[in-house]
Amino acid sequence: MTGRLARLVPAILRSPRGAAGLLIGAVGLWLVSDAALIHVKAWVGQVLLDRAWSRTLAGEEDVTPWPWADTWPVARLRSDAHGVDLTVLSGATGATLAWGPGWVQGTAEPGWPGLSVIGGHRDTHFRFLEDVVPGERFTLTRVDGIERAYRVTATRVVDQPSALLSSEPGLSSLTLVTCWPFDAVVPGGPQRYLVHLVEDADPVASLPAPVLPAPALPVLAQPVLAPPVLAEPSLAPPAAGTPGDHPEEDTVASVGGVSG
């Protein structure tokens, strides 16, 4: 059997069709194994990241999920509609995104005022974005344990080099970014799929406050007031003020641009 195989391989390599078939098979096997490795890393990574996130909520800072990691949890993103609960990492490098969605440094921290950009792979953690529609609600948990509710306002496809992102002043908003199209054979194309969310009103805060009976006030005796002693008014002319000594309070705050 071994000798027959040894004679068959050179014959296949001498044939153009045979050589092409072997090459296609080798490339296919490499692509399948590489894709399988990404999925395994994504699953194992979430288990380790869950532990790091628990330590973060307990008060530890910059908890790396494994000793040689150069990233750490910065938020937790949840979508009940799609059964998704993901740990968001610091940084959006290729090495980080292999383990989970990553916060683009230089944008607002997740859960705080401003625009926060979070990236993820279209074939693993952010695959579900294809099915997200406006009106859906997400929950983001900050590192201090405070939860923020967000509502999807829009989805769109943009060309990566010309994509400009902005948000309204004073609002906390998120933009989730992944590659597009979702079924692309070759990854890393120029187009990106964006899901934009803004912070939603707290449903508890929107409830009417309960009407409580007014407490009974004690009856106080009328105090006896002595006549005030008035100072002699000054007839000297007031000193001339300098224009601009008390400028009007500035009510406009500048908001820096956010790139992502």
Distances (CA, A) of 245 to 88, 238, 257: 50, 15, 33
Overall domain count for the chain: 1
Residue 161 resides in a domain:
yes
Residue 77 resides in a domain:
yes
Q: Average pLDDT, stretch 84-105?
A: 93
Region of residue 107 (left: phi > 0; alpha: psi -120 to 50; beta: else) = beta
Contact 106, 172 (CB under 8 A): no
Residue 48 resides in a domain:
yes
Closest Cα partner for 86 from 29, 30, 129, 115?
129
Contact 104, 118 (CB under 8 A): yes
Contact 114, 78 (CB under 8 A): no
Beta bridge partners of 76: 87, 141
pLDDT tops 50 at residue 162: yes
CATH code of residue 169: 2.40.260.10
Residue 56 resides in a domain:
yes
Residue 199: its pLDDT value, please? 96
Residue 248 resides in a domain:
no
What is the sign of the dihedral through the CA atoms of 136, 91, 161 and 257?
Answer: positive
Residue 35: its pLDDT value, please? 63
Which domain range does residue 107 map to?
33-199
Express each pLDDT in 188-234 by its tens digit: 788 999 999 999 975 434 334 444 454 444 444 444 444 444 444 44
Residue 228 resides in a domain:
no
Residue 24 resides in a domain:
no
pLDDT tops 50 at residue 58: yes
Residue 232 resides in a domain:
no
Residue 183: its pLDDT value, please? 86
